[in-house]
Amino acid sequence: MMMWINILLIPVIAFIAIVVGLLYAGIDRVLAARMQERVGPPLTQPFLDVYKLLIKQNIIPGKSVKWLFNSMPVVCLASTLIILFYLPFGGFDPLLGDNGDLILVLYLLIVPALAMVIAGLSSGSPYASVGAQRKMIMMMSYEFPLAITVVSIAWLLTTSEIPDPFSLQAVTGNPVWGLVGPLGLLGLILQLLVLLFVTPGELGRIPFDVSEASQEIAGGVLVEYSGRNLALFYLANAVKAVVFVSVIIALFFPYGLGVTGWAGILADSLLFFIKLFLLLFVGSTFIRVAMSRFRITQVVYVYWIPSVLVSLTGLLLMLVDTLL
Amino acid sequence: MNEMDLIDGLELEFGVNAEKQRDRRVWLTVEGGALMDVLRYLFDKGLEHLSAISVTDYPGDGVYELTYHLWSYADNFLVTVKTKTSRDKPAIESATPIWGESAQIHERELHELFGVTFKGNMDLTPLFLEEWDGPPPFRKDFDWRKYVNEKYYNKENEREKPYSI
Amino acid sequence: MIKTILELIRNLFKKPMTVRFPHEQIEMPEGFRGEHAYEIDKCISCGLCCKICPNRAIEMIDAPQKDRDKYPKTYPRIDLGKCCFCGFCEDICPTDALKLTKNVYLSTFDSESVIKEPIEK
Amino acid sequence: MSEKNPTAYELLFGPAHPGSGNFSVRLKVEGEEVTSARADPGYLHRGFEKLMEYRNRMQNSILSDRVCVFEALNWNLIHAQAVDELTGEDIPEKARYIRVLMAELSRIQSHLIWYGATSMGLGFDTGFKVAFGYRDYILDIFELVTGGRVYPAGYICPGGVRRDLPDSAKDKIRGVLGKTREMLRKCESFEKTTLQYRTKGVGILDRGDALRLGATGPIARASGVSSDVRSDDPYEIYPELDFEIPVRDEGDAYARCIVGRQEIRESIKIVEQVLERMPEGKLDPIKPKLANKIPEGEVYVRNEIARGEAGIYMKSIGEESPYRCKIRGPSLLHMIPVLEHLLKGAQIADVPAIYWSLNICPADMDR
């Protein structure tokens, strides 16, 4: 019975996620505009953009591998949405929570990026292939600090003798802040910072938008996309912001208000969205406005050396904290 | 070194009569054959900066007049060297051995717009015009009004009529 | 780093530089060079505006048939599509019959409407 | 070199590219490295030199606006100077002050565009938008003084200026200078996270190359060539003004940005001095005239515009229109020899940084 309700809820959640993603895209643009001393577009602008893209002609370049070129936007959006069902979203528990864990989420997070790589390589444009190469390099760079952070959380849960530490119920059921002492707290803050720094990379925003870098390679992986296909990528990107920040929330801020019933779900959802927007503001909008694009070599450097070092320091602090 | 020293030096070395137009402006005219030597001499005297090369067309006399505008960073004055070449088969030594790329690009432009051949300049591919089939467009006898009228204007268009007169 | 953050946060709460154009607009100063205002009764048909116009946007034409009696001479017809709004016609006009106004809302979908006839047909 | 290198391909940087102007560069690329670059200009060729042979001096001063959109007033000034030198007319003292005032304001706005465009090339949107926003305050001044925001329509014309300075202009200009200082403060606060790590050590042009390739203006000054037409070959009232010439020795893109910014400061200083010393009294506006012959003669005038050295060679044979008018823009040399030289061996990611740090304007190259 529960299973069937869950399956029915899937399109609802997907719809909500898309709306929230686009809404945040609108808020992001207004906030960025205000920080740049502009008025900015209306909040509905992303919806209008998607609508416009959907009614535009879908041009497929002659040199492309057509079936790959057409299927990758769908794969990208679908895989992004699937991750959502493994995560607690709003006031709801994870819909497919019983069937997957953090490791699966980590793997699934790679799929949209891979879809973009394949999309770029299949479109048969030199700009797109440069973009695809850059995207691959970037994936390899940001996965490492991300993995360290997630694993260290799971390790923390293991040492606290919580069963099944990689499952999402365990993670969301036991807020990590309660499991550590002062040193561990510092370690956790470092981990959170690293995760926030990975956010723009994962989302492909400035300063990590090297794969799309419109001033360098004219839009990179997406250069040949138009119309419906571009709209799907646009949606996937908007949803991915929600998804990735939901992971951060699940790992670090799984708190609810503790009210039961429908009112509780509603209140929790509201709280969730506030957390979501705040984290996105710090992790994406603010960094985007304050920085300029990295070179690809700099991307690799910042993720492999400083981020990994900070991440490992955090882990070490947590280790010391447990030993004490 | 100031302008007067240079004028004396040119007189002594090449027998050319340079003239001071106003402060920091020296003008001189040389024969085509002596041009390279004079330019080399001027470069050695510190006129390191080739500000511009220009061509003026005199269809009446059948000549092109080339002007080289040289600036000295050290002594702050401008020397303009004028020389003439035939209009029918305009050809002159290139200044690229002296000023390098900066002369090269000016010569490339003039080759395209006036049809002057600069001997010794390796790269004289057209810069601005694409698929140009007419004569060099900046010559005085090139009737661009007629060319444009025939090639581009729409005879039917009422609004383009004033341009055809 | 701190400076950047402070600057951006300050910007966030400042009044933006841009204005929401159709709803509000910045004031246009006196002497702006916009659309022409032409007073046919002041015009002496000297044709100076036609001669000085760098873009040949002004053409001296006869008045329409019905007004021929009242206006027997030639009058400037201005093609705003060719006009560069330099204001030479205003400067050279001996009787101030041609003047530039502050009207800049000249974009149109109709290519005919960019031609300003001296007398409305 | 293998015959067919799978990682080698050709990229077009421009003309329809978000990171370029109306100008294209063909890049031969291997992986991320540019092996050779070939500039391909001509998208904005309008043949001004030829057109000027058919128009009289006032009409030409309107044409001179359009040589470079972003520096219309500077080009007005240099054209006016060329004609003035031929006619030998005396320019009223106040007109000379207004000319310098407008030319310096134009220089400031051009440098703001430079900063904005460089930021845009580096993916720093904020700098782009802030710079263009503050530039609009200067355009407001242009609108007030000349009657047009971007095109002054030959405001600085042979014989003086087309209109007197409005009474309210002085205070407004002082206000705008304050705004520009605020902008500079902002630029500096953004420096560390943006310009510095992308432009330091990128596109190094050493002194010898700068001379050989014909770099002028801020590009040459960033490579250690201390030369400024305003002080070396002074025109208008520059000899009476007190200003410095910023020079740096590094020659990289960062040095060029810094020189550009310091030049804004110097220009602000100049504008303040000009406002202070501006003679009182009414100025007769210059009206266009028909049958206004330019006396016989030939001149070459040089001017320092924001992008470098500009020159006009004008030859007149005593007709209304000049017999020949050669326009020498700074961008022709910056865009072709200098750019091709700097792009060789650069990373793709640095192409926009190098491209925009040269402060190039396709319009004045193609003319």
pLDDT category of residue D2 using cuts at 50, 70 and 90? very low
**Residues of B in Cβ contact (< 8 Å) with C79:** 159
Question: Is A219 within 8 Å of chain D by CB?
Answer: yes
Q: Which chains touch D (3 or more CB pairs under 8 A)?
A: A, B, C
Q: What single-letter DSSP state applies at residue A293? A: P
In the sheet with C115-116, reading across from the earlier edge strand, the strands are: C58-62, C74-79, C115-116
pLDDT score recorded for residue B164? 63
Which two tokens mark A300? 């690799």
Q: Answer yes or no: do C52 and D59 touch at CB < 8 A.
A: yes
Contact assessment for residue A116 and residue A206, using Cβ atoms and an 8 Å cutoff: no
pLDDT for position D243: 84
| Contact A260/D at CB under 8 A | no
Q: Which residue has the tokens 């990611």?
A: D349
pLDDT above 90 covers what percent of chain A?
1
Encode chain D in three state secondary structure.
CCCCCCCEEEEEECCCCCCCCCCEEEEEEECCEEEEEEEECCCCCCCHHHHHCCCCHHHHHHHHHCCCHHHHHHHHHHHHHHHHHHHCCCCCHHHHHHHHHHHHHHHHHHHHHHHHHHHHHCCCHHHHHHHHHHHHHHHHHHHHHHCCCCCCCCCEECCEECCCCCCCHHHHHHHHHHHHHHHHHHHHHHCHHHHHHHHCCCCCCCHHHHHHCCCCHHHHHHCCCCCCHHHHCCCCCHHHCCCCCCCCCCCCHHHHHHHHHHHHHHHHHHHHHHHHHCCCCCCCCCCCCCCCCCCCEEEEEEEEECCEEEEEEEEECCCCCCCEEEEECHHHHHHHHHHHHHHCCCEHHHHHHHHHHCCCCHHHHHC
The two beta strands, C74-79 and C115-116, are antiparallel
Mutate to test the interface with A, among D32, D182, D193 (most CBs of A within 10 A): D32
Task: Look up tokens 């912001």; give the residue.
Answer: A241
pLDDT at C29: 85
pLDDT score of D254 more than 50: yes
Q: Which residues of A touch C4 (CB under 8 A)?
A: 290
State how far residue C96 is from chain D, nearest Cα, in angstroms: 13
Give me Rg for the CA atoms of chain C.
Answer: 21
Given pLDDT bands bounded at 50, 70 and 90, which one contains residue A96?
low
Evaluated on CA atoms D272, D273, D276, D281, the torsion sign reads negative
Predicted pLDDT of residue B111: 86
φ, ψ of residue B75 in degrees (nearest 5): -110, 0
Mean pLDDT across chain C, nearest whole number?
Answer: 83
Which residue in chain A is spatially nearest to C16 when comparing CA positions? A37
Query: Which residues from D are below 8 Å from B60, CB to CB?
Result: none
Chain C residues lying within 8 Å of A38, measured CB to CB: 16-18
Q: Nearest 10 degrees: CA dihedral of A35, A40, A44, A50?
A: -100
By CA distance, what is B56's nearest residue in D? D324
Q: By the CB < 8 Å criterion, does D166 face chain C?
A: yes
For C79, D62, D101, the CA distances from D162, given in Å and listed in that order, are 24, 11, 14
Closest partner CB to D214 (pick from B24, B25, B50): B50
Q: Which CATH class is domain C28-116?
A: alpha beta
Contact A292 D350 (CB under 8 A): no
- Residue D58: which residues within 8 A CB-CB, separation 6 or more? C52, C88, D154, D157, D158, D288, D289, D292
Question: By the 8 A CB rule, do D19 and D33 touch?
Answer: no
Nearest chain C residue (CA) to A290: C4
Query: Is A214 touching D (CB cutoff 8 A)?
Result: yes
pLDDT at D1 over 60: no
Q: Token pair for residue D345?
A: 């061996």
DSSP state of C63: P
B3-129, what's its fold? Beta Polymerase; domain 2 (3.30.460)
Within an 8 Å CB–CB cutoff, is residue C87 touching chain D? yes
For D71-91, what is the mean pLDDT? 87
Q: Measured between alpha carbons, how far is residue B85 from residues A169, A172, B62 in Å?
A: 90, 87, 9
Q: Are the beta carbons of B159 and C82 separated by less than 8 Å?
A: yes
Chains C and B touch (3+ CB pairs under 8 A): yes
Task: Name every chain D residue with its beta carbon within 8 A of the beta carbon of B101.
Answer: 212-214, 337, 341
Q: Do D18 and A292 touch (CB under 8 A)?
A: no
Which of D50, D245, D305 best probes binding to B when mutated, by most B CB atoms within 10 angstroms? D50
Separation between Cα atoms, residue D323 and residue D300, nearest integer Å = 14
CB A86 within 8 A of CB A108: yes
Chains that touch A (3 or more CB pairs under 8 A): C, D
Residue at B96: amino acid letter: T
Q: State the pLDDT at residue C121.
A: 65
Residue B1 has pLDDT above 50, yes or no: yes
Helix (H) or strand (E) holding A168: helix A168-173
Contact C16/A286, CB-based, under 8 Å? no
pLDDT at B100: 80
Give the model confidence (pLDDT) of C73-103 as tens digits. 888 888 888 888 888 888 888 888 888 888 8
Beta-carbon contacts below 8 Å between C and D: 68
Please state the separation of Cα B5 from the chain's center in Å. 26
Whole-Å CA distances, A23 to A85, A238, C29, D243: 20, 9, 40, 52
CB D251 within 8 A of CB D207: yes
The kind and range of the H/E element at B16 are none
Q: Enumerate residues 71 to 90 of chain C having a beta carbon within 8 A of any beta carbon in chain B.
A: 79, 81-82
The structural domains of chain C, with segments of one domain joined by +, span 28-116
Judging contacts by C-beta atoms under 8 Å, the chain D residues touching residue C6 are 189
Instruction: Work out how many CB contacts closer than 8 A connect B with D.
Output: 84
The domain D46-366: what is its CATH number?
Answer: 1.10.645.10
Closest residue in chain A to residue D15, using alpha carbons only: A218
Tokens of D45: 């060729």
pLDDT band at D6 (very low <50, low <70, confident <90, very high): low
What residues of B are in contact with residue C59 (Cβ under 8 Å)? 162
Q: Do chains B and D touch (3 or more CB pairs under 8 A)?
A: yes
When scoring A37, A206, A281, A284 by the number of chain C Cβ atoms within 10 A, the one with the most, hence best to mutate, is: A37
The DSSP element (H or E) to which C108 belongs, if any, is none
Provide the CB-side half-sphere exposure for D277 (13 A, CA).
17
Alpha carbon distance D55, D51 (integer Å)? 7
Q: State whether D194 and A130 contact (CB < 8 Å).
A: no
What residues does CATH 3.30.460.80 cover in chain B? 3-129
Q: What are D347's strand-pairing partners?
A: D33
ipTM of the complex: 0.83
Closest CA to D219 of D250, D251, D194: D251
Using the beta-carbon criterion (under 8 Å), do C85 and D162 form an inter-chain contact?
no
Distance from CA of D237 to the nearest CA of B (A): 16
**Statement: residue A100 has pLDDT above 80:** no
pTM score: 0.87
pLDDT score, position A92:
64
Structure tokens at C120: 């409305």
pLDDT of residue A90: 59
| Model confidence at B105: pLDDT above 80 | yes
Residues 6 or more apart from D242 whose CB is under 8 A from it? D269, D273
End-to-end CA distance of chain A: 47
- CA distances (Å), origin D199, targets A94, A111, D154, D191: 46, 34, 37, 11
pLDDT over threshold 60, residue A183: yes
pLDDT digit string, tens, across residues B128-151: 887 777 788 888 888 877 888 777
Q: Which residue of D has its CA nearest to C104?
A: D148
| A307: DSSP letter | I
Residues in chain B with CB shorter than 8 Å from the CB of C82 are: 159
Distance CA A273, CA A267 (A): 10
Per-residue confidence (pLDDT) for residue B142, from 0 to 100: 82
For residue D7, the model assigns a pLDDT of 67
CB–CB contact C32 D147 (8 Å): yes
Q: Which of A126, A206, A298 sits opposite D197 (nearest CB)?
A: A298
Q: Do chains A and D touch (3 or more CB pairs under 8 A)?
A: yes
* Contact between chains at A292 and D349 (C-beta distance less than 8 A): no
Give the span between the Cα atoms of D265 and D246, in whole angstroms: 10
Q: Where are the domains of chain D?
A: 46-366
| Mean pLDDT score across all residues of chain D | 84
Contacts with A55 (C-beta within 8 Å, 6 or more apart), sequence order: none
Identify the pLDDT of residue A2.
63
What residues of D are in contact with residue C51 (Cβ under 8 Å)? 290
Residues A120 and A128: beta-carbon distance below 8 Å: yes
C-beta atoms of D124 and A292 within 8 A: yes
Nearest by CB to residue D193, choosing from C4, C87, C100, is C4
How much is the average pLDDT of A209-230?
79
Partners of C56 on chain B (C-beta within 8 Å) are: 162-163
